[in-house]
Amino acid sequence: MASLAGLSWRRVQTNSISPEYKKKILDMYNNLYQSVGTIDYTVDSIIGKYPYAWIGETTGQQIENPINLKSVILYWKSNYGNKIGLCISETPQITKDHGFPKIFELLENRQNDPNENYYVEVSHAPEKIFLKNKLEPITEPNILRTLLGNNIQVLNENELKYYSTPSKDGLSTQYAPLGSYFRKIEGLDEPPVRKTLYGKYNIMKGGKNKKYGKINGKIKKTLKKRNKN
């Protein structure tokens, strides 16, 4: 399939989109993840888990015809920002060409608006794409446990070499990135998966009017007032 020229992205609350769009989101999920194992979602359960989404549609289309829906980034709001849960598209190529660039844009949050901080867990092939694009994972164990809970196993530097990927030439080895951890995926009857976490987050420190965010492995303070909503 030829790559699409461009997608128009809009943010929605998932309970407001058409039943046909909701069904297509579930169908795209099942089609893309069936080879690696899928959570047994229904239309209602996947929409209920992810109340918000960025929807990528064929440029210029205004009607919610499922043929126009090509990619979707599903997320929910935590106490620390917007946690991206899934990026799914009609094909893996559409995810690569359009879904990932949109996620990179969201993670960057150039305006440093604390209400627009996004973070995302990645593993397997997506992790390689993140590293290839020079993104650096969040590495501090305490921050990882704050954002993800205490049921993760953070790898120390000495353990990383045991989870490595040989290079194509067979002469060198890419160790697992610093910040790697294992987490059990709820709903999947599979062993814990090694993951890394990327993006910006909000953690309150030293006063209610200070916001703290993080990207590319560096903590940075912003002087935005807390949004009480």
134-150 pLDDT tens trace: 999 999 999 999 999 99
DSSP label at 2?
Answer: P
Q: Rounded to an integer, what is the distance from CA 175 to the centroid of its chain?
A: 22
pLDDT digits (tens, 9 = 90+) for 159-206: 887 777 666 665 556 678 899 999 988 776 778 889 999 999 997 654
Query: How many other CB atoms are there within 10 angstroms of residue 165's CB atom?
Result: 11
Confidence tier at 110 by pLDDT (50, 70, 90): confident
222 has pLDDT over 50: no
Query: Which residues touch 159 (CB under 8 Å, ≥6 apart)?
Result: none
pLDDT at 22: 95
All structural domains of the chain with their residue ranges: 1-108
| 52 phi, psi to nearest 5 deg | -130, 155
Average pLDDT over residues 79-103: 95
Name the least confident of 83-87, 202-206, 207-211. Answer: 207-211
For residues 205 and 219, give the distance between their C-alpha atoms in angstroms, rounded to a whole number. 12
The DSSP element (H or E) to which 191 belongs, if any, is none
Confidence tier at 32 by pLDDT (50, 70, 90): confident
SS3 132: helix
Query: Which residues touch 194 (CB under 8 Å, ≥6 apart)?
Result: 123, 155, 163, 176, 180, 181, 182
Q: Among 169, 209, 135, 159, which residue's Cα sits nearest to residue 222?
A: 209
Confidence tier at 215 by pLDDT (50, 70, 90): very low
| Mean pLDDT value across the chain | 82
Contact 55, 90 (CB under 8 A): no
For residues 15 and 65, give the distance between their C-alpha atoms in angstroms, rounded to a whole number. 16
Find the distance separating the first CA and the last CA of the chain, reported in whole Å: 44
pLDDT at 169: 62
Confidence tier at 213 by pLDDT (50, 70, 90): very low
pLDDT at 172: 59
pLDDT at 63: 67
pLDDT digits (tens, 9 = 90+) for 50-74: 999 999 998 765 667 888 999 999 9
pLDDT at 190: 75
pLDDT at 176: 85
Average pLDDT over residues 77-102: 95
Tally of residues, the chain:
229
